[in-house]
Structure 1
Amino acid sequence: MNCITRSTQSALSFMTYEVVEQVSNSTFNKFVVTYDAVSREIKWHRNIYWNVWSKNVKRRHTHIKSSQDEPLLKPRSKRFDNLVFYSRKIYEFASESEELTEILHRAFDNVMV
């Protein structure tokens, strides 16, 4: 299962994220998650009217190792593995404090825009 998150709004103590969860190759669930920093409450809403299935969606997370990988894909797979390895170290470090986590969230939001 893959999840893609994107910050959509930030106002006062509220942060709103759009989450797309890939259940299978052609099935997607979309949620809106709201975080209230004051009360530390997390609320999620699933809109049943959103289109959650589409065969035209470009898959972004297809870096599964296989013995049938083409030689041309090996450099990309190595880069992906290195990114996963280093990002885990970053996540472990940033999870130590709320301030570091917020800095990382802002950095991701700036990069993904």
Structure 2
Amino acid sequence: MFVAGKLLGKEALGFYSVAMHLASLPVQKVSGILNQVAFPAFSKIQNDSATVKLHVLKSVRILSFLSFPVLWGISSIAPEIVQLLLGPKWEPAILPLQILPMIMPLRMISNFFTVSCGCDWSP
């Protein structure tokens, strides 16, 4: 944010910040629940690396199946979201809101790996 503020200015930083907040809402909601469930679940099976690998792959598939369509859907209807929720004066936030949700599924999956990866991933 500091670098973007220096390069883009206060106004553009505000639009970027609002777009980032809207794009990260689904990630925050899912990650909170996921962290509460994944850490205890993986700690119970941590000694069985084959089972851990199986469940990590299954979890990544489920996260991908849910997060990519939702977040890319937000990206595809960003103009409508901004017009409906924020109004016409926030139109400069449309472009960041179209770009940021495209990378948010990867952020969600990387957050999952930080919770579940307390084991050796080598074959």
TM-score, length basis structure 2: 0.28
Which structure has more relative contact order (CA 8 Å, sep 6+)? It is 2
TM-score, length basis structure 1: 0.30
- Which of the pair is proportionally richer in helix? 2
- Which of the pair is proportionally richer in strand? 1
Larger Cα-atom Rg: 2
